[in-house]
Copies of this chain bind each other. A is one copy, B any other.
Amino acid sequence: MSHPFFSYHGPLSISEISKILKVKIDITKNSQILDVKDLLNAEQNYLTFLHSNKYLDIAKSTKASYCVTTAKLKDNLPKTCEPIVVENVLLAISMITQKLYPNSVEDEFDRKVENIEKTNLKDKTECGENILVGENVSIGSNCLIGHNSIIEKNVKIGNNCKIGSNTIIRNTLIKDNVTILDNCVIGKKGFGFFPNRSKNIRYPHIGIVIINENCEIGSGATIDRGSMSNTEIGKNTFLDNQVHIAHNVKIGENTIIAGQVGIAGSSIIGNNVRIGGQAGISGHLKIGDNVDIAGGSGVIKDISSNNKVMGYPAKNIREFLKENR
């Protein structure tokens, strides 16, 4: 139940949930929920959520005991799952998540950082000057950590990794042989909130960032952690300078991403993809394997595997070049 990184303030009783959401809930079942997960990953005594008919198939077999949903969608849940009907599903689930993990909403600086000199570094790991290390950090052997970097709370760095200077990392799992260059910000909360006239309501980010083996992250990159799921970068994927990766993005293996590319929230990029400089990929898209996206392109719909695209909106590259001769 307990999250590896964010301190857990659960379980929540159904009557508390009822109070937070200002709805009546039929308490015939378990009197409390242990955690919040998506439809696929929720277990018994968990709360899940269903906000779109894109997920009806998964909804039918969820193991969750409760589900925040709408009046229209509630009949798609199995009998083992009690619907909690609200108007704004995402706002409701966000409020419950925040109650379970109150520290996942904003990134307060880690008050427990200490100079890395006080850390017991492993074999062959070397570090520069003025490095701060926070709570729940582990660093493997044969690593290099550059000057002025801040390895804030909840970071696990594998073996043979190189972290540049002036880089900030938190809530991130870094596998072996990863290189992260200078001035990066990795693992901060994503740009997610419910717009609200008087004061926007930020939603919690309980996902983490996972950077797999052999990756390289260029200077000035920003990689945000996920909201409900993780942000993940596959093995041997290289990112150039000033790239922005939003929350919940998943990138495959052996992918190459050139300078100043931006990938919006929740998009999924395949293996062996090449993305040229300054290209942008909208949110919630699926890009297949072996796709080439030309520099400067603006991708606004899914691209299936083995395609080459260019343009804004991005289309078949030969078609684009023929039209723009």
Contact = CB atoms under 8 A, between A and B. Distances in A.
Interface of A: 106-111, 113, 115, 126, 128-130, 132, 144-148, 150, 152, 162, 164-166, 168, 177, 179, 181-183, 185, 188, 191, 193, 195-200, 214, 216, 218-220, 222, 224, 236, 238, 240-242, 244, 246, 254, 256, 258-260, 262, 264, 276-278, 280, 282, 295-296, 298, 300, 311-313, 324
Given A166-B168, A238-B193, A298-B296, A108 B144 contact: yes
A224 B181 CA distance: 12
A174 to B, nearest CB: 16
Chain A interface mostly helix, strand, loop or mixed? loop
B181 A183 contact: no
A185 B165 CA distance: 10
Nearest to A218: B191
Contact of A130 (B130, B145, B191): B130
Contacts of A147: 109, 113, 132, 150
A238 B179 CA distance: 31
Contact of A162 (B108, B191, B196): B108
Contacts of A146: 109
Number of copies: 3
A325 to B, nearest CB: 9
Contact of A219 (B115, B150, B162, B185): B185
Contact of A241 (B128, B132, B185, B296): B185
A162 B244 contact: no
A295 B313 CA distance: 10
Contact of A311 (B166, B256, B260, B312): B312
A193 B179 CA distance: 14
Given A220-B222, A242-B244, A262 B278 contact: yes
A21 to B, nearest CB: 24
Given A218-B191, A219-B222, A224-B241, A109 B132 contact: no
Given A148-B166, A264-B277, 18 more contacts: A109-B144, A110-B128, A111-B128, A113-B128, A128-B132, A129-B132, A182-B185, A185-B220, A200-B236, A200-B238, A220-B220, A222-B259, A242-B262, A244-B260, A244-B277, A260-B260, A264-B295, A278-B278
Nearest to A115: B129
11 contacts: A109-B147, A109-B164, A130-B130, A165-B168, A181-B185, A185-B241, A195-B254, A220-B220, A220-B242, A276-B282, A312-B312
